[in-house]
Chains A and B, each alone.
Chain A
């Protein structure tokens, strides 16, 4: 369980002062997977560095399992960090240590007996399927393998919290999926609370229970991933699923139809066609299952006004918006 209470971070002093985080309040439930998303410069990484105690907030505090963990002395902070494992972006492995020795590092810092270090490190590498590469140096490992070593190292002190700062950035989609699968398994096995810092919306859809969206140092939206995806009012929900460009049909009007309920009938297109007595031209779609719910959008062409279409779609749990004007326009005008 992680809690941030009115966390603020200011870098620099006087006229160079730069407010990076403003009054962040965050509560991450035990054994949940929470994604923190937002554009670069939004303060995600700074928040991550506050959570894993690499940085002291200017004001406010971090609580781990209900105990204040920020603002402690150097030594006490090092000790508190044992409760949090961090997976960094790219390779933060020590080049001159083998995979096994890298996993042993946190245990050496904590002063565990050498036999325990070796045994546990070997077990962790087995868990991330790297036993065969135990004695390889990072330069001899692929990006995905290096990230697995990073995960094993993050777990070395048996933390309750795993923080992944852009841990899948730069990996190919297959490798990324296997890393995400591993994280999901670890959560199930060890009851880990996982916080993901990412800018990849695919990652969020694939794994996160909760999403927190940041912009300019503040949390601007938060919620359950499935709920946000079904909420047509949510800008975060929209960003999680950005409609692709679709060639417009001639003579008919095109609409983006979003899933706004869990009760959408699978044959809604034929139902709609029957109901309004017009043909529905299918033009494109991106629909997937997230968190056991069907979410996404379908682009259709139909000879019908927005109002009439909306009336017909509402009972089906769908929501239409015209494609002619880009969906972003009304938002920026507001």
Chain B
């Protein structure tokens, strides 16, 4: 294999690149958007349950806590590329296909949900016991304390951690692109890498970096605005 830099920077012209880049960016944003919503909708309640069933939580249930914790750990420990290949049958069963954006949603979600859950759980843990006790002593039920005390108090931390996790999803979509999900990752690998198109590679990398930067920047801004 000849390293990228040894080849002349030949390949598509910039107008051609932009033509391909547009739809690919759309696919990436679509995947990130859908997976973000799924991961938040499932990951947030999961985090609330995992944290509050722990011995320091509001309704300690050691067995539930351990079981969920182990499942999350297992999913978190599988490298995404392998997870992607491993769940192809499951993906086909749920989405009807293992290809394209639709085919990538299942593996991406399976990677993002535990990531979201773990990071949100970390933020919940930062709400100190005396503050929760104050909520209970203020005649709140445990659910009231979760919704009126625990989640609102943890919100700046949750936003910060969800931002990190979202940048993680962008990364996952690029890997998913390599195995046929489309998007910027696919473009970068199939044109930029396989066909030695340096400009295409550069364009994809720049766009991915910009997406990550915008995500991180807005997440940080929001977290700061929420913190008091």
In chain B, positions 123-142 with a C-beta closer than 8 Å to chain A are 128, 130-131, 133-142
Q: Which residue of B lies closest to A74 (CB)?
A: B141
Judged by a CB distance under 8 angstroms, whether B30 is at the interface is no
The reply on A139 being an interface residue by CB < 8 A is yes
Q: Which residue of B lies closest to A79 (CB)?
A: B139
A228 CB to closest chain B CB (Å) equals 30
Interface residues on B, range: 20 to 34
B4 close to A (CB within 8 Å): no
Chain B, Cβ-Cβ closest to A104: B138
When distances are taken between beta carbons in the complex, the residues of chain B under 8 Å from A79 are 139
Instruction: Name the residue of chain B whose CB is nearest to the CB of A153.
Output: B138
Q: Which residues of chain A are near B136, meaning CB under 8 Å?
A: 54, 78, 81
**Distance between A83 CB and nearest chain B CB, rounded to angstroms:** 9
How many Å from the CB of B63 to the closest CB on chain A? 15
B134 touches A88 (CB 8 A): yes
Is B85 interfacial (CB-CB < 8 Å)? no
B139-182 Cβ-contact flags toward A at 8 Å (1 or 0): 11110100011001101100000000000000000000000000
In the complex formed, the residue of A with least CB distance to B141 is: A78
User: DSSP class of B's interface residues: helix, strand, loop or mixed?
Assistant: helix
Residue numbers in A under 8 Å from B128 (CB-CB)? 92
CA distance A9 to B152 in the complex (A): 33
Q: Given A95-B228, A96-B153, A54–B137 Cβ distance below 8 Å?
A: yes
The reply to whether B139 and A106 contact each other, CB–CB distance below 8 Å, is yes
Q: Is B226 on the interface with A (CB-CB < 8 A)?
A: yes
Q: Nearest Cβ in chain B — how far from A221, in angstroms? A: 28
What residues of chain A lie closer than 8 Å to B133, measured between beta carbons?
Answer: 54, 86, 88, 92
Among B106-138, those with CB < 8 Å from A are 128, 130-131, 133-138
Provide the bound-state CA to CA distance between A81 and B134, in Å: 11
Complex formed: what's the CA distance from A97 to B134 in Å? 13
Q: How far is the CB of B31 from chain A (nearest CB, A)?
A: 33
Question: In the complex the two chains form, what is the Cα distance from A158 to B138 in whole Å?
Answer: 11
Min Cβ gap B52→A in Å is 14
Listed residue (A54, A92, A110, A157) with the most chain B CB atoms within 10 angstroms of its CB? A92
Measured in the bound complex, the distance between the Cα atoms of B41 and A18 in whole Å is 41
A109 touches which of B138, B153, B156 (Cβ 8 Å): B138
A237 to B189, CA, bound (A): 82
Give min CB distance, A18 to chain B, whole Å. 15
Q: Which of A84, A97, A138 contacts B137 (CB 8 A)?
A: A84
- Closest A residue to B134 by CB, please name it: A92
A78 to B139, CA, bound (A): 5
21 CB < 8 A contacts A-B:
A54-B136, A78-B139, A78-B141, A78-B144, A84-B137, A86-B133, A86-B137, A92-B128, A92-B130, A94-B131, A94-B152, A96-B153, A97-B152, A109-B140, A109-B144, A110-B139, A137-B228, A138-B228, A153-B134, A153-B138, A154-B137
